[in-house]
Structure 1
Amino acid sequence: MPKRKAAIAVGGVAALGAAALLLPNANASQGKDQAQGAAGSARTLKAKDASDLAAQLQKALGDAIAGSYYDSAKQQLVVNVVSGDNNVIVQAKKAGAVVRKVDNSTAELKAAAQTLKTRATIPGTSWAIDPRTDKVVVTADSTVTGAKWDRLQSTVQTLGSGMATLRKSAGTFKTFVSGGDAIFAQVQGGGVRCSLGFNVTASDGSPAFLTAGHCGVAAKDWSDSQNGQPIATVDQAKFPGNDFSLVKYNDPNTQAPSEVNVGNGQTVQITQAADATVGETVFRMGSTTGLHNGQVTGLDATVNFQSETNPGGVDTVNGLIQTNVCAEAGDSGGSLFTQDGSAVGLTSGGSGDCTNGGETFFQPVTAALQATGATLGNGGAGGSGGNGGNGGNGAGDQSGSAAPSASAGDQSGAGAGAGDQSGAGAGDQSGAGDQSGAGAAPSASAGDQSGNGSADDGSSLTSSR
């Protein structure tokens, strides 16, 4: 059988702004940090270097650090330290970070999140620790009303105004079916479409790719064209709880490049997996909406999706990366990466669309790699494991990203597959139906994807399947 090159392309739809920012230095190294001035002065850092420093300090100082974030304007790492711990302050400053004294410790913030889990696991809600405000930010979508809203509001109030904040989202939480390089599957009741995230090498040496878990739960066999013959089979799929799938190519000679196709014949080489850092700029590629960029706004986020397989039930996904990057149906599974070629996440779900904006959640790639034993490309090293994603070995050929989307929106019958997405952040997905239109999008060339797949009511927090 001739060798087949897995072309993972991502549509270039409305991606000019992001492409202009990304492409000039797409394959450039972040470079060395600028020299540190006098001992203890803050260092000027690239985002990747700031992430590495944050991981080192977290490992050395543990819970004495109450979170950290990247100040992109000043190119500095800001580390939160509870007032009074002078030894920690000295060490953090010596390492080159900016130290900020805060009131809430890591233990207190985690305890608040646990209280929310115990008392307010309600479909259509999410929460994440925001190191910039030193609080737990709780979000409720448009479906959280009446007694559910009263219960959530009461729980947040018991935590105290200095510990948590509550806000409303105009949309609804759901998974995004559609995305990156489109991949397709047939299920009872219709078709499903997702985006390919990153090409990888499985632990047994076979070529494979990562995509969203709710996609892998929805269907076992995947094709690179609508109604085409399957070219890959799901090996592992986790959803809810986590949201990742390892899908192996059926042809062991498949050449799966470690790159993301960002449209117009341009690609970004993926050389490693990395943990996200709050404040850093990231890029998302998906077959429905193409290339878009934004910032990481939270880590270790929890999203409660309305279960599609259990009426009234909840599918909860933990340890996610929260961003303000837009996404729509069909973008699920698509790749989240940085300008220096680091694989960061797989599109899970969110709310909003790429016209009005929104928020999107991503499964950390480092966690997916560690759990599956896969490696990126030729085994590039993974991240440090922060955020729930422990340094897995790299994550391979990310080339396109694919989020399951209901092919032709039929999804409603995707049944277990699509439904499961809810846990991935797709509560609303009822039937994954929102994916409507996603199926039509051609998978191969990035350009083709443009415009494919309907936006799935982006207004909701959907996991871009």
Structure 2
Amino acid sequence: MPKRKAAIAVGGVAALGAAALLLPNANASQDKNQASGTTGTVKTLKATQASHLAAQLQKSLGDAFAGSYFDSGKQQLVVNVVGGDSNTMAQAQKAGAVVRQVKNSTRALKAAAGTLKTKATIPGTSWAVDPRTDKILVTADSTVTGARWNRLQSTVRSLGSGMATLKKSAGTFKTFVSGGDAIFSQTQQGGVRCSLGFNVTASDGSPAFLTAGHCGVAAKDWSDSQNGQPIATVDQAKFPGNDFSLVKYNDPNTQAPSEVNAGNGQTVQITQAADATVGETVFRMGSTTGLHNGQVIGLDATVNFQSETNPGGTDTVNGLIQTNVCAEAGDSGGSLFTQDGSAVGLTSGGSGDCTNGGETFFQPVTAALQATGATLGNGGNGGNAGNGGNGGADNNGNGAGDQSGSAAPSASAGDQSGQSGQSGAGDQSGGSADPSASAGDPSGNGAGDQSGNGAGAGDQSGSGSDPSGAGSAGDGSSLTSSR
């Protein structure tokens, strides 16, 4: 099997030996809340270390634990506690965390989220716990107007003062079909393009990869080139509810290295799966927009997408990671990872684009691995399947202009387009459309929505296979799943 097929499977994160590839400060927003408490024993931590410490403290503190976040500027873990128990605070401080007393308990925040689910499951809405504010962050996209907006406002007010914040997004929530390295499929509705997330080994020992569930639901057979022969078949796909797919390579001898192509010949070796931590810097690789970074801003997010299969219905996905990292159509399924090589998420959907910014949601990798029984690591023969910089770049050549806005200076504008057989913004214009189109996106815009701004504009809109007739290039800011 050609080496590039294996590289595609990994979705773009290989051993980023060069720290310059990941810019911790790019796109970062510093927490404005001042944590209090004794800091004499506070430890300086990496994000993954902070995540592990947070998990330990959650168990030891019990109901007093009210969430945590990573202060990336100070490299410290901040732990929220309820109640004034000095022993509890001392326990957390001794472990090396900064302790902050807050009003809302984890139980109260979960109850508030339950009320939103019961009373405000409206297409175009989302909510997630934000431990930095100790509130539920509720977001409504541009489609939530009139009676639906009034209903959402009323529900948020009913939660009580200091329990939730409500903000309006300029875009529309949609799935983003696309990702790390591009993968393609043909359906009766037309072409579909997504991104590969991470190479894994399936429970039966065969080589496979993870991508978005809405991609796996939209199409069963996937190729590493537009109009190419299928090289992998969907084994499991979950959407809505969750958003992940396990796709097995048809050739059991496929070399599938555990790495991500970060552009410009750079790869990031993926060594483990890790849970996200609010405040940590993360990197997303996608076949449309390349490499971008930002911060985790919420966990256990619920997103209510306009249904792609049931006009007027809602596709609700739970347990997602909310970030301020941008994404566009074609980025769906792509890899979210950390600088130290931890696999964190698979691109699901969001609003906005990489010109104006927006919110993007990710399926946690840890949950996908647990559900599918897959493990991170080389599948098949493993080993020397080729560098993500060689094979991976073949398929994520589009979006060269997007890449220039990437968080990584080493991933320059030419990185993704130079080696690709589909280079530049016109990449997709002659072929596949966003998988969201094939699924019957009720918005009628399909992949064109997200690709309306930046280099992606031509990508999705030119194929004509989009049921909408190529999508609306001006809709890039809408909340979409990132197929």
TM-score higher than 0.5 here?
Answer: yes
TM range (shorter): 0.7 to 0.9
SS at 1:360 equivalent: strand
Shift of 1:409: 3.0
Match of 1:460 in 2: 478
Decide whether the 8 Å contact of 2:104 with 2:163 is kept in 1.
Answer: yes
Does 2:78 correspond to 1:54?
no
Match of 2:358 in 1: 358
Decide whether the 8 Å contact of 1:180 with 1:195 is kept in 2.
Answer: yes
**Displaced runs of 4 or more, over 4 A:** 1-5, 9-12, 397-403, 410-413, 427-433, 435-441, 453-456
CA distance in 2, matches of 1:454, 1:71: 39
1:321 is aligned with what amino acid? I
Distance 1:316 1:456, change over 3 A: farther
Does 2:123 correspond to 1:123?
yes
CA distance in 2, matches of 1:454, 1:256: 36
Decide whether the 8 Å contact of 1:408 with 1:439 is kept in 2.
Answer: yes
CA distance in 1, matches of 2:309, 2:217: 12
Distance 1:435 1:185, change over 3 A: farther
Say how many residue pairs are matched: 409
Shift of 1:440: 9.6
Does 2:427 correspond to 1:409?
no
Aligned positions of 1:45-194 closer than 5 A: 45-194=45-194
CA distance in 1, matches of 2:344, 2:473: 24
Shift of 1:438: 4.2
Give the TM-score normalised by structure 2: 0.79
Distance 1:463 1:353, change over 3 A: same
CA distance in 2, matches of 1:260, 1:247: 17
Shift of 1:161: 2.6
Shift of 1:109: 0.4
Q: Deviations over 1:64-104 (max 9, x none)?
A: 21000000111100000013233321211110000000000
CA distance in 2, matches of 1:175, 1:348: 6
Aligned positions of 1:295-444 closer than 5 A: 295-377=295-377, 408-409=432-433, 414-415=438-439, 419=441, 428=443, 431-432=446-447, 434=449, 437-438=458-459
Shift of 1:458: 3.0
CA distance in 1, matches of 2:120, 2:387: 36
Structure 1: segments with no counterpart, 5+ residues: 13-17, 25-37, 380-396, 420-426, 442-452
CA distance in 2, matches of 1:310, 1:454: 21
Shift of 1:375: 0.3
Distance 1:340 1:454, change over 3 A: farther
Distance 1:302 1:429, change over 3 A: farther
Pairwise CA RMSD: 3.0
Give the TM-score normalised by structure 1: 0.82
Match of 2:268 in 1: 268
CA distance in 2, matches of 1:439, 1:349: 16
Decide whether the 8 Å contact of 1:328 with 1:456 is kept in 2.
Answer: no
CA distance in 1, matches of 2:241, 2:290: 27
Q: Deviations over 1:256-302 (max 9, x none)?
A: 01000111111000000000000000000001000001000000000
Decide whether the 8 Å contact of 1:284 with 1:337 is kept in 2.
Answer: yes
Distance 1:138 1:131, change over 3 A: same
1:207 is aligned with what amino acid? P
Distance 1:70 1:3, change over 3 A: closer
Shift of 1:56: 1.1
Match of 2:278 in 1: 278
CA distance in 1, matches of 2:129, 2:434: 36
Percent of aligned pairs with the same amino acid: 84
SS at 2:99 equivalent: strand
Match of 1:15 in 2: none
Shift of 1:41: 1.2
Decide whether the 8 Å contact of 2:289 with 2:331 is kept in 1.
Answer: yes
Decide whether the 8 Å contact of 1:51 with 1:275 is kept in 2.
Answer: yes
Decide whether the 8 Å contact of 1:428 with 1:460 is kept in 2.
Answer: no
Distance 1:167 1:44, change over 3 A: same
Shift of 1:5: 5.2
CA distance in 2, matches of 1:61, 1:4: 48
CA distance in 1, matches of 2:46, 2:279: 12
CA distance in 1, matches of 2:11, 2:364: 20
SS at 2:93 equivalent: helix
Decide whether the 8 Å contact of 1:226 with 1:439 is kept in 2.
Answer: no
Distance 1:410 1:47, change over 3 A: closer
Match of 1:424 in 2: none
2:137 is aligned with what amino acid? V
Structure 2: segments with no counterpart, 5+ residues: 25-37, 380-385, 397-427, 452-457, 463-470
1:62 is aligned with what amino acid? G
Decide whether the 8 Å contact of 1:126 with 1:301 is kept in 2.
Answer: yes
1:329 is aligned with what amino acid? A
